[in-house]
Amino acid sequence: MSSFLVVAAVAATPLLAQSHSGHAMPPLPRELIERPLPLRTGIGAAHDAVSTREPQAQAYYDQGLAYLHSFMWIEAARSFHQALRLDPMLAMADVGLS
């Protein structure tokens, strides 16, 4: 019975963290998160093969992943938006934006 309580407490922890208002991200201007950016080096390496035939779209998607792993949300969003400009059917870039 006690192991059930531990599991229930651990499972409820994310719900408690979500209700803390101090962690809410303020709204950002759309022009900021959609502004084009160049491909950059030295930001880390991440790769996940996605369903695109556009090498640049893949490169921007990978850059977005690298920025996500570095907790750089705005740069990640800008990279995913650029990937979508290059390949509007790249669903995984939409997932990255979510």
Rounded Cα distance, 20 and 74, in Å: 22
| R_g of the chain, CA atoms, integer Å | 17
pLDDT digits (tens, 9 = 90+) for 12-69: 555 544 555 666 778 888 888 889 999 999 998 999 999 999 999 999 999 999 999 9
Which range, of 1-5, 17-21, 24-28, 80-84, averages the lowest pLDDT? Answer: 1-5
Residue 97 has pLDDT above 90, yes or no: yes
* pTM, 2 dp: 0.72
Domain ranges of the chain: 44-98
DSSP code for 89: T
**3-state SS string for 54-79:** CHHHHHHHHHHHHHHHCCCHHHHHHH
Residue 3 has pLDDT above 70, yes or no: no
